[in-house]
């Protein structure tokens, strides 16, 4: 006779109520990001608590439908591969915690363009959306857990963006 014991590693479950059907999601150390499956192009952010549920922190809009997403704990940014009008975009959402704190200010800029000193100070108080142009469409993404560097897979090559 064989006796079975409950030895699985999952001790409990939590239900996170989302406003829309989840399409993609990823976790950070203390957060959960949920991109909607609908055409609304939004990411909901939840705080993950040690003892009990997840509380909503806020949400922000994306350019298009999120195909892939990853969170970097080292740089505390969310990177997405988004699709709009059959074009693919790579974007990083920096300082996203400002949106969950109630700030509606957003700055959009492109990698390779120099920022003014006065605007770099303002970036600390608002969310920044960084667009990263690539010669080939991005296929997959990963963030280095130590340095926060971003690795992007394209057809026949990898592109690395080094975090300052």
Segment 79-99 shows an average pLDDT of 91
* Tens of pLDDT, residues 43-60: 999 998 877 678 899 899
- Residues 14-41 pLDDT 10s: 788 888 899 999 998 889 999 998 777 8
> Residue 64 in contact with residue 89, Cβ under 8 Å?
yes
Average pLDDT of the chain, as a whole number: 84
C-beta of residue 128 within 8 angstroms of C-beta of residue 107: yes
Q: Return d(Cα 41, Cα 84) in angstroms, integer.
A: 10
Can you give the pTM of this predicted structure? Answer: 0.83
Q: What is d(CA 65, CA 91) in angstroms, rounded to the nearest whole number?
A: 12
Chain Cα centroid distance, residue 77:
6
Query: According to the model, what pLDDT value does residue 6 have?
Result: 66
Half-sphere exposure of 67 (CA within 13 A, CB side): 16
Q: Which has the closest alpha carbon to 92: 19, 154, 141?
A: 141
């Amino acid at each position: 006779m064989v006796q079975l014991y409950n030895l699985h590693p999952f001790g409990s479950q939590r239900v996170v109520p989302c406003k829309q059907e989840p399409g993609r999601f990823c976790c950070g150390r203390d957060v959960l990001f949920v991109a909607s499956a609908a055409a609304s192009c939004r990411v909901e952010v939840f705080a993950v608590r040690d003892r009990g549920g997840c509380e909503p922190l806020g949400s922000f809009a994306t350019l298009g439908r999120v195909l892939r997403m990853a969170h970097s704990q080292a740089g505390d940014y969310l990177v997405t591969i988004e699709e709009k009008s059959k074009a693919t975009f790579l974007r990083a959402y920096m300082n996203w915690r400002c949106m969950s704190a109630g700030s509606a200010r957003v700055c959009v800029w492109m990698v390779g363009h120099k920022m003014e000193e006065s605007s770099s100070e303002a970036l600390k108080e608002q969310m920044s959306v960084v667009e990263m142009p690539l010669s080939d469409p991005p296929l997959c993404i990963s963030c280095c857990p130590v340095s926060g560097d971003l690795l992007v897979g394209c057809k026949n090559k990898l592109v690395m963006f080094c975090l300052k």
